[in-house]
Amino acid sequence: MTTNKLFTDTNDYYKLGHIGWGDTSLQFSGYIEGYKTGADTLVEKAITSGNISILDTLVYPALFLYRQFIELQLKQIILLHSKKSYAEKKDVFKRVGHNLQLAWNEIQPLIETLLEADNSIDEIKELILEFHRFDESSFNFRYPIKKKDLNVVINVSERIDLQVIKNQMDKIDGFFCGVTAMLDQVQASESEMENYYGI
């Protein structure tokens, strides 16, 4: 079917991408999985290509998608599991912006309550803060130049092993899958108690 529109439903089911499905929690999960899977797919294509020009160009969208995946993981926990009020959460989102370090600082106490004396917290924290230091404003892999002076954003040439990046992202993904499952369970238990005791 030909069309002159950009966004259209052609009724060709296995070519349709469905957006706007589910509640806040489900949509967060869809975005998070989509960004991670998108990045993984780009990394796999780049590595299997054996082509330096593909490696050197797909690195940008892959790293942007991985950073967005991390940011949404952190913000999902703030939004869905923080004990703060709705108004307080709005203030947190405004203050945090795209800053991974500030977002991590918000959720760290929640995670430490779940995983007392677990070394994986420090390991994941360091990976997230390393990404933050590499791209503090979520800008480095979206644009080649800075808005304020039009100078290049990344002015030092270096090589990054994309397989190592993917492996570490898998580790972060596994960590957050476990954490969010535990937080969901805690929330469900608290809700049951509230319903049972009427508080």
Q: Give the pLDDT confidence of 48-69 residue by residue, as tens digits.
A: 999 999 999 999 999 999 999 9
Whether residue 150 is contained in a domain is answered as yes
More confident residue, 29 or 188: 29
User: Is residue 41 assigned to a domain?
Assistant: yes
Domain assignment present for 75: yes
Q: What is the pLDDT of residue 119?
A: 80
The predicted model gives 20-49 an average pLDDT of 97
* Residue 6 included in any domain: no
Q: Give the other-Cβ count within 10 Å of 191's Cβ.
A: 10
Assess contact for 63 and 143: CB atoms under 8 A.
no
Task: Give the chain's domain count.
Answer: 1
Q: What is the pLDDT of residue 117?
A: 63
Residue 198: pLDDT over 90? no
Give me the mean pLDDT over the 80-91 stretch.
94
Residue 86 placed within a domain: yes
Is the residue at 167 inside a domain? yes
The pLDDT of residue 136 is 94
The model's confidence at residue 184, banded by pLDDT at 50, 70 and 90, is confident
What CA–CA distance (Å, rounded) separates 89 from 164?
34
Tell me the pLDDT of the chain averaged across its residues. Answer: 92
Handedness of CA 171, 173, 178, 183 (dihedral sign): positive
The per-residue pLDDT for 141 is 95
Helix (H, G, I), strand (E, B) or coil at 152: strand
pLDDT reported for residue 196: 67
Residue 69: inside a domain, yes or no? yes
* Confidence band of 71 (pLDDT split at 50, 70, 90): very high
Which residue range forms the structural domain that includes residue 147? 22-197
The single residue listed with the structure tokens 């100078």 is 151
Contacts of 113 (CB under 8 A, 6+ apart): none
Least confident residue range of 6-15, 35-44, 70-79, 95-104: 6-15
